[in-house]
Amino acid sequence: MMRNKSERLQKIMSAHGVTSRREAEKMILQGRVTINGVQATLGQSAQFGLDEISVDGAILNNVNKPVYLMLNKPRGYITTVSDDRGRKTVMSLVQDVNTRVYPVGRLDINTDGLLLFTNDGEFANTVAHPSNNKLKTYEVRVRGDVHEAVRLMRFPIEIDGCNVQAKEAILSNVTVDGGVLIITVSEGRNRQIHKMCATCGLFVKTLKRLSIGTLKLGSLKSGQWRYLTAEEVASLQGTIHGK
């Protein structure tokens, strides 16, 4: 009988729905993970099904059914599994999910809108990895010269030493001190929308993610979540019509 191959502990934890690899590393460093009753160390490997792996005292012995969901994240919540400063995390908004999930990517504390959750590590890596260039669309309320900014965003903008460019920048509404822009990007760099707007002379007042790829936030209310359909999951994985 062929045994499971030895793999890094954080990879095993991610594949079996505990958390993301990054958060798994933190849990290992915090002493929350054991292998065969001995506290695990970062970089250690194990064989799932042969070694007894425990997280917070619970034995990791079953492959969870893959779960995929979307949340309309409100402002004021940080996108992390836990926070040592006692701030509100998005995990409190998905407590009623019947299995443990973790966020895919992140939204800033003052950004609201579409945020994905899963217990499928491979899916999370596929969707979040920058090389996949998933289009993300945001509604941005700004202060400043919106007409000039929209013009500038149609050209490459240097951010943190790299050139980025809006796939689309639309002026949705004009206000007394600025307006509302609909901006679509593919790179997904840290605080990219804020930095692009700042470079174009705009101050961001509010930022909301409306879509990822073909998946749209729709009418989902702030603070609420729903499961993704099989077609939505496949589309995000890029398996429909070669997307």
Annotation says 108 is catalytic: yes
CB atoms within 10 A of CB 19: 24
Nearest-CA neighbor of 215 among 228, 225, 197? 228
Exactly one of 51, 84, 96, 108 is catalytic; name it: 108
Q: Is residue 109 a contact partner of residue 78, using CB atoms and an 8 Å limit?
A: yes
Residue 113: φ, ψ to 5°: 115, -155
Distance CA 219, CA 15 (A): 31
What distance in Å separates the CA atoms of residue 139 and residue 183, rounded to the nearest whole number?
7
Identity of residue 213: G
DSSP 5-29: PPEEHHHHHHHTTS--HHHHHHHHH
Tell me which residues are annotated as active site: 108
